Amino acid sequence: MRFTHSGPAPANRNDLQTLRTLLPYLWAFKGRVLLALSCMILAKVAAVTVPLYLKDIVDRLSVPASMLAVPVMALVGYGLARLTSSVLGELRDAVFARVIQGAVRSVARGVFQHLLRLSLRFHLERQTGGMSRDIERGTKGIGFLLNFMVFNILPTLLEIGMVSVILFSRYAWEFAAVTLGTIGIYILFTLVVTEWRTVFRRSMNDLDSKANAKAIDALINYETVKYFNNEAYEAARYDRNLAAWEASAIKNQVSLSMLNAGQGVIIASGVTLIMVLAANSVVQHKMTVGDVVLVATFITQLYTPLNFLGFIYREIKHSLADIERMFGLLSTHQEVDDAAGASVLDTRQAGIRFSDVEFGYDGKRTILHGLDFEIPAGSSLAVVGASGAGKSTLSRLLFRFYDVSRGSISINGRDIRQLTQDSLRAHIGIVPQDTVLFNDSIYYNIAYGRPGASREEVMEAARSAHIHDFVMSLPDGYDTQVGERGLKLSGGEKQRVAIARTVLKNPPILIFDEATSALDSRTEKAIQHELASIAANRTTLIIAHRLSTIVDADQIIVMDGGHVLERGTHRDLLELGGRYAEMWRLQQEQQDGEEVPV
């Protein structure tokens, strides 16, 4: 029977590299690791002495009734050996529990922190469902790997070594030869077949992640699915991924059955041959009944964990494949990183300058062309233009989600690439056009602007954003849950939460990216006054479509195709009679407050 891999999976796996990556997390608890290993070794030594005491007991009782005597010392030794092996084994597990859970926690935290440091480009391209499943399997795999590799494979190998020495020293070489030969064939068979099977598990992981990603994507975009009546389409798309996973899972199970059957044949053959040798030696008076019991007990002690070792090895290989995918996230390049010796920005008066800035998201198409403008500290600059003109790209570059391709962006004369990202972003607040909230309370989402703020400061920020009265009218007030991505709130309510959050952050630089686009005209006018008050004495970048919201800006630039077409005040641009004046005229002609998007 031949199986082929039908799904993509990681190529060129390096299990040793995966283990080397994991080792520092494990070695952080080296004291506990060494203590646990000591308990393991002593427990195995005690376990190996149990059959020796049992042989002595059987031989002392295998005499004529007239010569029988209770082998007290042998019985006491037997009991102590079993007790020591059991107690030390449990102590080992208790000591090592902290190592396993601590390592899992450290790795999970490290992956999470690394993901948060990765560039916006990575997060725009990732699939949340698949990535979360990779992390989940990877953390579980670490626990399994550490527990069973250290306390199943190593003890079994140690016991094989000690038993082989005893068999060689006490009995004919054939016993040790058959024992080691059986073990060698078993291990070789398990390694070869498991390597062949690993591709099926990796394929299952890949297909499982893809299916989960599709499902999560459909659930996140639930409303869009309903809008277009595409429930059946999404279910069919999900089922196609599940069908591919099903096929791979069947191959995985069939190959597992073949492996188990082969292992059973090898073990049964070895045990039978050992017992034939032992029985023949007893008949020839070369061995006692106690010796047969000793050999049989050793073989049982060895082959029972060895049979389990096949399962353990398979699962360790699977765990390594799972961990590899998670560590692959850690190896993802951090596109935007702090420069060596980056300085900390600390100012309340921030002047911004874009100098000959050129930028493109993928290197194939340039979005900004030689952009050059300045926002003096404490002043405001508004940017208008058609969709796709590159307006929102300005805020992403200022936050340094991406680095410019050419030219520079500076704050107070210092290139932002020479500043730490943490300090840079701490100085900027943004009210985005598309506000996304955490699935938590309204209070949490406002307080996110400055987590250490007092409750009164949070409520004051809500008042500034004209949302306090609305929140207090809700049954749960500030404890009201907003739902996934804030879907329980209207667009205007979400935007006011975003404004309150930025007010609470209290940064010297503000970015309003269509900050009032989701508000009705009455609320917009009220908040415009508040935003003007908030922006006073702050450096403000306003990205707008509604020209009525920017008439008071200190400077306005009109962009098109990544170029600056016009610049000046509202009055200057109207007098110029160019693109801005045309947009103003079109918007003023609209009836009933309807506006033309530009």
* Closest to 220 (Cα-Cα) out of 233, 207, 232, 234: 234
Identify whether 137 is part of a domain: yes
Q: Is the pLDDT of residue 332 over 80?
A: no
Whole-model pTM: value is 0.64
SS3 332: coil
Crossing angle (nearest 10°) for helices 289-330 and 231-283: 150
Q: How much of the chain exceeds pLDDT 70, in percent? A: 89
- Identity of the amino acid at 185: I
**Ranges 17-26, 228-237, 353-362, 388-397: which has the least confidence:** 17-26
pLDDT (mean) for 361-383: 87
Q: Is the pLDDT of residue 227 over 50?
A: yes
Which one-letter DSSP state was computed for residue 417?
A: G
Would you say 92 and 311 are in contact if contact means Cβ atoms under 8 Å apart? no
pLDDT grade for 472, boundaries at 50, 70 and 90: very high
pLDDT (mean) for 496-514: 89
pLDDT score at 597: 45
| Average pLDDT of the residues of the chain | 81
- What does the pLDDT look like over 419-428, one tens digit per residue? 998 899 899 9
pLDDT score at 532: 79
pLDDT score at 591: 40
Q: Measured between alpha carbons, how far is residue 86 from residues 79, 97, 304 in Å?
A: 11, 17, 16
Residue that finishes a domain, picked among 330, 352, 380: 330
| Stretch (H or E) spanning 546 | none
Identify whether 6 is part of a domain: no
Identify whether 487 is part of a domain: yes
Q: What is the dihedral of CA 199, 203, 209, 215, to 10 degrees?
A: -160
Per-residue burial over 161-174, b = 16 or more CB atoms within 10 Å of its CB, e = otherwise: eebbebbeeebeee
- What does the pLDDT look like over 14-42, one tens digit per residue? 677 777 878 888 788 888 888 888 888 88
Identify whether 5 is part of a domain: no
**Residues 158, 207: one domain?**
yes
**Residues 519, 552: one domain?**
yes
Residue that finishes a domain, picked among 473, 506, 539: 506
Range of the domain at 147: 15-330
**Residues 162, 219: one domain?**
yes
Q: Is the pLDDT of residue 43 over 80?
A: yes
Which one-letter DSSP state was computed for residue 287?
A: S
**Residues 352, 491: one domain?**
no
d(C-alpha 334, C-alpha 119), whole Å: 6
- What does the pLDDT look like over 80-132, one tens digit per residue? 888 888 888 888 888 888 888 888 888 888 888 888 877 777 776 666 667 77
Q: Best-predicted range by mean pLDDT among 203-217, 324-338, 383-397, 493-507? A: 493-507
Identify whether 337 is part of a domain: no
Q: Is the pLDDT of residue 408 over 90?
A: yes
pLDDT score at 2: 34
**Residues 176, 81: one domain?**
yes
**Residues 386, 401: one domain?**
yes
pLDDT score at 307: 65
- What does the pLDDT look like over 154-199, one tens digit per residue? 787 787 788 778 877 777 788 888 888 888 888 888 878 877 777 7
Higher-pLDDT residue of 262 and 54 is 262
pLDDT grade for 574, boundaries at 50, 70 and 90: very high
d(C-alpha 254, C-alpha 193), whole Å: 12
Residue that finishes a domain, picked among 330, 355, 386: 330
Identify whether 571 is part of a domain: yes
**Residues 419, 441: one domain?**
no
Domain count along the chain: 3
- Identity of the amino acid at 523: T
Q: Which residues contact 524 (CB under 8 A, 6 or more apart)?
A: 516, 549
**Residues 399, 461: one domain?**
no
The CATH code of the domain that includes 462 is: 3.40.50.300
Would you say 152 and 314 are in contact if contact means Cβ atoms under 8 Å apart? no
Identify whether 1 is part of a domain: no
